[in-house]
Homo-oligomer: A and B are copies of this chain.
């Protein structure tokens, strides 16, 4: 590669955003950001939040009631991560007392559908899995 070509390539690379540089994630690569995103949606509460929201918009208190045992702190942290990844939309209404609603974005719906396929399978095959555990 000539020096000029190298310079141009570097300049173009510098102007590219991070997302333009990443063509496709690789879940097995330790440094790939896809691993962290996967962990957000498959975390203990992440899965349940996504599955709950696939059924429609929820207020914070509704989510907390639906997802038993989750603490206020953990639910807030889970929602923040999912909002940051662009999967959850948080809408705050300027009223007293505060009214905040959470729903899935279009990419959140895509992820949510895949998670439901997994949880549905586990739910419907639970007897079979428990039989295997007894062996």
Interface residues, chain A, with chain B CB atoms under 8 Å away: 17-20, 22-30, 32-34, 37-39, 41-44, 47-48, 51-52, 66-69, 84-86, 107, 110-111, 114-115, 117-119, 121-135
Contacts and interface: CB of A to CB of B under 8 A. Distances in A.
B84 A130 contact: no
A131 B86 CA distance: 9
Interface residues of A, dominant DSSP: helix
Given A29-B68, A85-B132, A117-B117, A37 B111 contact: no
A16 B63 CA distance: 35
A47 B37 contact: no
Contacts of A131: 17, 19
